[in-house]
Each structure stands twice: as structure tokens, then as C-alpha cells.
Amino acid sequence: MRTAQRKAKEVAERERMLVRLALEMISKDGFHNLTLGKLAAEASYSKGTIYNHFTCREDLLIELSAESARRQVRYFQAVVELPWDAVRRLYGMALAYMCHAETDPILFECSITARTDAVCALASEERLRRRDLVEAQMAQIVGSVVECTTKEGLFDNHELSAAVAVDALRSYILGYASMHLLSPRFLWNQETEQETRLPVLASLVHGLGWPRLGREDLASVQRAVVRVVEDARE
């Protein structure tokens, strides 16, 4: 391996380690207590080494949001490869999004915070560009599934296009995950919430123009999605 390639590999591996370490620190003390100086001390690197990776704390936050998107891409791609029709894949991606918020709440929360103008204004253009590329992959996967539902005659809404409908679905899932999965203050009775999550999702999907899946089908899709996420995290 050439020297330049070896160095690039070492830099990439060190950055992945720093991201993992930052997640551990955030889970213990919260993002508001994380500084690049503390990250350097915890990683036993100089501040200069850390700043070679991240120009500021906001830059690190953008990278964390990009990591969140990369994991979602893996989940979505795995769902697409399951032997399902397009509607089940659509439900599967929606449930994978929720599952991601449950299993990686720190990353999910970072992905939300990293959308604010204050963070984006301070982060480097390179970090923003890299995150945009990952999110474009995610959008492409979702778009392909939505397009398949139309081709298969599984979308029927004379008031909205499939693109607008999926945007409405995305907004619901984001709001649901932010309120009911990230903040216990908004969480209803846990047992009741688990019982209503799937039928509420099915009602929304159906109202937007796609077929409603029955309870057993939904439960089957959810079990498969949980396995997908677990396998992708190993």
C-alpha cells in the first residue's frame, strides 16, 4: 500500500474512532458539555490533531448527523432487498426510521440538531457536502420505492402526488420519533403506545393513498425490520 493511501486509511480510522468516542461522551454528559478539547483529552490526542478532523464542535455534529444518515441508508437498503412488494417496503422503511430513533437516540437527536441554521453556518462546507451526499442516497432509495408503488398501481390519491404524500409521511415519522421516542415527557403509557403505533401508521399511510396493511401483516413487517436493524448494527 502506498504511503498516501496508508495515511488516508489511518486518518479515516481515527475519525471513526473519534466519532464513536464522541457518542459515548454525549451519552454520558450531553452534547452541550462536549468540547473538542475534552474529546482530545479523552482520546489522548493533541487539540491540533482533533482540529485536523473537525474545524469546530458544529463540524463534529454534522459528522454525527452524517453517521446517522449512513446507518439509515444501510437499513433502508436492506429493507428494499427483502422479498416484499413496494408497499411493504414503504412501511418497512417507515418502521426502520422509528427503530433507528429508538436504538440510536443520540445519533438521531444529533441529526435533528444538525439541521439548524446556527449549526450549518459554523460547520465546514466539506462536512455539509459529505452529509448531503449520504442524504441524497437515502432520498434515492425512498424515491425508488415510492415510484414502484405508483408503477404497481398501489398509490391512489387524486389530490396529492406520491412525492408530496411521502413527504407528509416523513414529516409524521420525524415528529413521532422526536416526541414519543426521544422525550419521555411526551410518551404516553408505554403499553398503550406500543399497541397504537402500528395501526396509527397504517391509518396515516392509507389516508395518504397507499393500501392499509392489517395488524398481522404490520407485525410481521415490524419483526423483519427489527432483525434488519439488529443485523446491520452487528
CATH of the domain at 220: 1.10.357
- Any idea what DSSP says for residue 209? T
Domain range enclosing 27: 1-53
> According to the model, what pLDDT value does residue 191 have?
53
> According to the model, what pLDDT value does residue 234 have?
67
Q: How far apart are CA 97 and CA 170, in angstroms?
A: 9
**228, 167: one domain:** yes
Q: How far apart are CA 87 and CA 109, in angstroms?
A: 28
**147, 38: one domain:** no
Residue 209 has phi, psi (to 5 degrees) of 130, 0
Return the ∠ at Cα 118 (arms to 115 and 120), rounded to 5°: 55
The answer as to whether 72 is a domain residue is: yes
**How many domains does one find in the chain?**
2
> According to the model, what pLDDT value does residue 3 have?
76
pTM for the predicted model, two decimal places: 0.90
**CATH code for position 39:** 1.10.10
Q: How far apart are CA 197 and CA 214, in angstroms?
A: 13
Cβ neighbours for 139, distance < 8 A, ≥ 6 positions apart = none
Q: How far apart are CA 177 and CA 201, in angstroms?
A: 12
**82, 195: one domain:** yes
**48, 83: one domain:** no
- Provide the grid cell at 179: 416526541
**24, 68: one domain:** no
Cβ neighbours for 165, distance < 8 A, ≥ 6 positions apart = 155, 157, 208, 209, 210
74: left (phi over 0), alpha (psi -120 to 50) or beta: alpha
> According to the model, what pLDDT value does residue 1 have?
58
Q: For residue 226, give the nearest of 70, 85, 82 by alpha carbon.
A: 82
**22, 83: one domain:** no
The answer as to whether 59 is a domain residue is: no
**48, 117: one domain:** no
**69, 38: one domain:** no
> According to the model, what pLDDT value does residue 189 have?
46
**98, 183: one domain:** yes
- Which helix (H) or strand (E) segment holds residue 94: the answer is helix 86-103
The answer as to whether 130 is a domain residue is: yes
User: pLDDT tens digits, the chain, 234 residues: what are they?
Assistant: 577 788 888 888 999 999 999 999 998 988 888 999 999 999 999 999 999 999 999 999 999 999 999 999 999 999 999 999 999 999 999 999 999 998 998 899 999 999 999 999 999 999 999 999 999 999 999 999 999 999 999 999 999 999 999 999 999 999 888 877 776 655 544 555 667 889 999 999 999 999 999 999 999 999 999 999 999 886
**104, 4: one domain:** no
The answer as to whether 157 is a domain residue is: yes
> According to the model, what pLDDT value does residue 219 have?
94
**182, 93: one domain:** yes
> According to the model, what pLDDT value does residue 180 have?
74
**82, 166: one domain:** yes
- Any idea what DSSP says for residue 83? S
Counting Cα atoms < 13 Å in the Cβ hemisphere of 130 gives: 16
